[in-house]
Amino acid sequence: MGDSNGLAFIFGALLAAGIAYFFLGSNGKTSSPTILATTGPVLHPSEYRKFKLTKKVVLSPNTARYRFELPTPESTLGLPIGRHIQVMVPVNGSPVARSYTPTSTDNDRGYFELVVKTYESGAVSSYLHRMQVGDEVSVRGPRGTFQYKPNMVRALGMVAGGTGITPMYQIIQHILANPEDKTRVSVVFANVSEEDILLREQLELWAADHDQFDIHYVLNNPPAEWTGGVGFVSKEIIQEHLPAPADDVKVLLCGPPPMVKAMGALLGDLGYEAPRVISKPDDQVFKF
């Protein structure tokens, strides 16, 4: 019995060594990103791992939802709520990386999704736009410092601009999927035109189905029949649609840098704690 156990141990060790050699090479270094995990969380904080595009849904002329396959149907990305990932792609022979927040969560097994707006000058977003099903990107994470925890505050205010809705969407989805999380969520979502409003259908379904969630849209160029906010997000809009400053209130900001800077100043004038240049998780006003 002891001899058979010893042989099994030796065989297992040799097998593990062979697998390590296969993935790492004889010099112990990876020559290219690769997925090592096959079940459970697959993200690695420093090592880029490859994921295959399996589905692409066009949401608007310049925005699409990209679904990437995880190693097994039961695998999870392993991304804490509120964190983001770094996506690396080759551009003119050199690696270029950008940060994105998946709109999926670890409740979604076997895949993760990104909603990305393509910018003419955006190296990574343009690469994603050109991707075909079967193509791969390299990803690492988690990145960032903020992590949402159920009932961490009584009320959560959010101001998002354009694709800045994606980290908010991830958090909202997590809150509303948990019956034990009683956090009140209020969102001000600013865009240039009505066609630019990302994820609108799902956001409005949530607002209709959940009393603890509401959303207010603001457009720079609204259509004639528009009944939402017009122009830029103002002090009056914040006062009307976000929770008032209190110890059990937090406000999250994400969007174009000029907008985030302006919102931070407005919130400071209204009595919220002035945001830092680089936000920390415990700040009352946190900038993604």
Q: Cis peptide before 245, with omega less than 30 degrees from 0?
A: no
Catalytic residues: 84, 100-101, 254
- Cα 168 to Cα 183: distance, rounded to the nearest angstrom: 14
3-class DSSP state of 194: helix
Any alpha helices (H) in 100-199, and if so which ranges? Answer: 123-130, 165-176
- Cα 88 to Cα 74: distance, rounded to the nearest angstrom: 24
**Amino acid letter, 64:** A
**CB neighbours of residue 10 within 10 Å:** 10
- Cα 109 to Cα 41: distance, rounded to the nearest angstrom: 10
Kindly state the tokens that stand for 106. 């670890």
- For 18, the enclosing helix (H) or strand (E) is helix 2-24
Considering only CA atoms, which of 71, 18, 13 is closest in space to residue 44?
A: 71
- Phi, then psi, of 66 in degrees rounded to 5: -110, 125
Angle at 203 between CA 167 and CA 122, to 5 degrees: 45
Sign of CA dihedral 164, 154, 212, 175: positive
